[in-house]
Structure 1
Amino acid sequence: MSEPYAAAVASAAPAVSEAPFNAVYLAIGAAAWAVACLKVRAWRRDPSAGLLVVALAIASPATSFLMAAPVVYRLIDRVAHVGNLATLLVYLGITGFSAATVVLALIWTPPGERSGDRIWDASSAVTRRRIRQRLAVFAVLAPLMAALFAAGRAGSPETPLTFDTTFATVPAIACFLVLYQGVFAFALVDIGRVCLGHAARLPDGWLRRGIRLIAYGSVTACGYVLCKITAIAAAAVGTGGLDWLSTAAGPAFAAAGALLITAGFAGPAGAAWARRRRDYRALRPLWDLVYRADRRLALEAPPARWTERLALRDLEWRTTRRGLEIRDGQLTLRPWVDPAVVDGGLRIAARAGLDEAERAALVVAAGLRSAVAALDAGRPPLPREEQAALPGLDADPAEERAHLVRVARGLDGPLTEEALATARTP
């Protein structure tokens, strides 16, 4: 064995229990991959450069965490017959995250500069040139890292947890490690800066919280870089007693940062999913009302209540379809809407001090209930000139769903009952 490798073996850190690292790394990797799959699914529904970059920014470190788990690390080495090869793959995965976040920082459109709902913008010539420049750097960096790793011949001993400090005295490996940590630090600072700037311009809500979590996760992960660089430098100059920075403190910062970043990417999407599911279920009473009036409105019979409670997929499509069927039902029921109920609803809304949105919901809820009651009683439809116009039919698509949800929640409300009772009073 040559002198550098003998020194490396002699300076290897004491054995560290691998069980906690297996549990934490595999859990984080699996959770992050679940979020990445959701982003890929969203990208397939709405192809955009931004969603694809986000998916890559999550999938790359997720894969690295899985490979960094000692049980997987050793499996990779055995299959490839190359000691510590997993270290190179892990660090290349994190470098992929760095590349994705650098691009993300370039194409993330500031809220004040957006056109409509566009969040990602890679259309300008300046932005495209910057992206090409950054990616060109990473295109050179990845093979350079692989070359340095190969030149260091750090195949033995196998060190899934202590590679950095074990081989810090090998010049090629030291350059490999410093290069990786430097690029990672640059990416963390870049995406953290951009996220904090965006969050400051956004209204309070899940999107703002998510972007802040990404920023906080990036800052936290910088602690990993600081711990690693300190431990590597100490090992390179022969200073003992600081290996814990590489084997304990650094991984702790990395895990905490990864959790925050993953939560930041997942939070807004999870909140949007929960909102769609809440709206889908909230519309059920209103949908039942119009379906009872005309069963031809729906593509299929009402799902069982327990089936609806378990609905987890295609919620946007289901909710949109339910809203369209309700709209068709509202138009079908219009000839039977009692104008006295509409007038009574307007008076009650004014007396209760309801805002415009709540007033419209009350009038529609009371009007539709009066129409269904008229149909059940066998009353003839009103002539067109006597039909009451219900508000909300010309609502903006962005507001339409919220309007229908308000109507559904007010169907059995006390003000709706009062409007119906007022109309029945001689």
Structure 2
Amino acid sequence: MSMSTWFWTIAVALGIGLCYKLPSVLRGGRNPLARQAAGLLFAACGVFFFAAPSTIAAVNRYTGITNFAAPWVYSLLTGFSASCLLLIVKWRGGTPESLRRTTWWVYGSYATLIAALWTCFALSDHSVERLRDLDTYYATTPWMREMIVLYLLGHTGAVLVTSALLWTWESRVRGTGWLHAGVVLLSVGYVMNLAYDITKLAAVIARWTGRTDFDWLSTDLAPPIAGIAGILVALGFIVPHAGERMVQRTAARREYRALAPLARLLQPVPAASAPVALGRFAPLELRLTQRRTFVRDAMRLLQPYMDAAQYDQAEQAYREGGAKPAKAKALAGAATVTAAVARLQAGDDRMREQSARPPIDSISDLVSISRAIRRLPKDHAVRWAAASPERSVTS
């Protein structure tokens, strides 16, 4: 894989991370944390896209200025450094006045640094185009030398602060699952960014002493380190969102399937309103909401046909049979609902004046009852109780 392809791949990975953040930015409105994380990913994506040698050559050719891409990429990297610090500032929190003051200090410092980069570039002799080894080639050139050192020091300072605070937070978020995984990935990613700075500075300092045998640190080692750091940072933002989303979808799919037996059993109950037809490719969340609504409405309409005494008898019978309390309640609820549907279909309204109702109106109760319905045909006592509510389930 060429260096350009490698950097473009990292840019795409960071772009995916940005796409995961955009919904939270749009939903969050003025949420500063969401906006700052999105800004950080956008800056990092820009750094890797424009740092690819092919892109560097294209920028230089398009502008007509030799090595114009160098201060441009360094400016993007400086913006990324500022985004790192601002994200930490907003994560740390504080009074509105202190946050505003620190934010303006970061903006002012790094804006000044970017202006200094362009000033150094304008004052320097940069007539020889270098696509991969500009840092070492111009390490001893007046003003280019200062530009290279400024961007490396600015990036190193931001990475040091960010890494230290992330590793401090790592111990605080242990046990939070996907969030902890994201913080660990971010922490390792910023440590890799620090390794990138160290290799670059080592190669530049070696040039100052007249040695060229360390150029490979900047040319060959630093780019892969930067790429790995970019992937880890992208994953640090993607994993918590993707992981939580996966957990939510799994839970929603499990609940949707678990409610299916109860929904089928309640089909004879007259609907309170005409159901909206949803295709099999409709969003899972929408289909789950529709199923929940149907089951709740049907249970409400079925309440007058439910026998609270029968529910109590069935629950007691299951407890005496060795079932745990939660399982006994679920099976008793399944028996009661099955019997109520049978009464509704038979036009038996003897339960309409009954005041006590079985406690089966929460979603968790309904899911448990729905799962228990599948076990009802295997249990003669409950089938018999549903058919003959006046008799005891223990007869």
Question: Could you state the TM-score of these two structures normalised by the residue count of structure 1?
Answer: 0.77
SS at match of 2:6: helix
Q: 1:365 to 1:234 in 2, by over 3 A?
A: farther
In the alignment, the residues of structure 2 paired with residue 289 and residue 60 of structure 1 have an alpha-carbon distance, to the nearest angstrom, of: 51
Q: Cα offset for 1:379?
A: 4.5
In the alignment, the residues of structure 1 paired with residue 82 and residue 332 of structure 2 have an alpha-carbon distance, to the nearest angstrom, of: 54
Residue 410 of structure 1: aligned partner = 371
Aligned 1:328-347 pairs, distance under 5 A: 328-339=297-308, 340-341=310-311, 344-345=314-315
Residue 43 of structure 2: aligned partner = 60
Q: 1:178 to 1:371 in 2, by over 3 A?
A: farther
Residue 197 of structure 2: aligned partner = 225
Residue 153 of structure 2: aligned partner = 182
In the alignment, the residues of structure 2 paired with residue 46 and residue 326 of structure 1 have an alpha-carbon distance, to the nearest angstrom, of: 32
Q: CA offsets, 1:234-262, max 9 Å, x none?
A: 12332011111001211121111111111
Preserved CA contact (<8 Å) 1:98 1:184: yes
Residue 63 of structure 2: aligned partner = 80
Q: Partner amino acid for 1:301? A: A
Structure 2, unmatched stretches of 5+, are 387-392
Residue 195 of structure 1: aligned partner = 166
Please say if 1:50 is aligned against 2:11. no
Q: Cα offset for 1:349?
A: 7.1
Q: 1:260 to 1:348 in 2, by over 3 A?
A: farther
In the alignment, the residues of structure 2 paired with residue 169 and residue 124 of structure 1 have an alpha-carbon distance, to the nearest angstrom, of: 45
SS at match of 2:2: helix
SS at match of 1:239: coil
Q: 1:143 to 1:316 in 2, by over 3 A?
A: farther
SS at match of 1:390: coil
In the alignment, the residues of structure 1 paired with residue 121 and residue 317 of structure 2 have an alpha-carbon distance, to the nearest angstrom, of: 79
Preserved CA contact (<8 Å) 1:210 1:263: yes
Q: 1:299 to 1:234 in 2, by over 3 A?
A: farther
Residue 31 of structure 1: aligned partner = 13
Q: Cα offset for 1:199?
A: 2.2
SS at match of 1:156: coil
Q: Partner amino acid for 1:196? A: W
Preserved CA contact (<8 Å) 1:165 1:243: yes
Q: Cα offset for 1:375?
A: 4.3
SS at match of 1:303: coil
Please say if 1:124 is aligned against 2:124. no
Residue 135 of structure 1: aligned partner = 107
Preserved CA contact (<8 Å) 2:36 2:86: yes
Preserved CA contact (<8 Å) 1:164 1:246: yes
Residue 266 of structure 1: aligned partner = 238
Question: Could you state the TM-score of these two structures normalised by the residue count of structure 2?
Answer: 0.82
In the alignment, the residues of structure 1 paired with residue 198 and residue 32 of structure 2 have an alpha-carbon distance, to the nearest angstrom, of: 32
Q: Partner amino acid for 2:120? A: L
Structure 1, unmatched stretches of 5+, are 1-18, 110-120, 393-399
Residue 4 of structure 1: aligned partner = none
Preserved CA contact (<8 Å) 1:287 1:325: no
Please say if 1:386 is aligned against 2:347. no
Q: CA offsets, 1:349-368, max 9 Å, x none?
A: 7944467xx88777766665
Look at both structures and tell me which one has the larger radius of gyration over its CA atoms. Answer: 2
In the alignment, the residues of structure 1 paired with residue 127 and residue 319 of structure 2 have an alpha-carbon distance, to the nearest angstrom, of: 77
Q: 1:276 to 1:156 in 2, by over 3 A?
A: same
In the alignment, the residues of structure 1 paired with residue 316 and residue 98 of structure 2 have an alpha-carbon distance, to the nearest angstrom, of: 55
Q: Cα offset for 1:56?
A: 0.7
SS at match of 2:355: helix
Residue 41 of structure 1: aligned partner = 23
In the alignment, the residues of structure 1 paired with residue 204 and residue 225 of structure 2 have an alpha-carbon distance, to the nearest angstrom, of: 16
Q: Partner amino acid for 2:314? A: G
Comparing 176-185 with 360-369, greater Cα deviation is found at 360-369
Q: CA offsets, 1:93-137, max 9 Å, x none?
A: 22122111111111115xxxxxxxxxxx56532222222222221
Q: 1:225 to 1:368 in 2, by over 3 A?
A: farther
Preserved CA contact (<8 Å) 2:185 2:232: yes
Q: CA offsets, 1:128-169, max 9 Å, x none?
A: 222222222112122111211222242422x22111111111
In the alignment, the residues of structure 2 paired with residue 342 and residue 152 of structure 1 have an alpha-carbon distance, to the nearest angstrom, of: 89
Q: Partner amino acid for 1:262? A: A
Preserved CA contact (<8 Å) 1:188 1:222: yes
Q: Cα offset for 1:183?
A: 1.6
Corresponding residue pairs, total: 378
Q: 1:362 to 1:228 in 2, by over 3 A?
A: farther
SS at match of 1:108: helix
SS at match of 2:192: helix
In the alignment, the residues of structure 1 paired with residue 81 and residue 220 of structure 2 have an alpha-carbon distance, to the nearest angstrom, of: 23
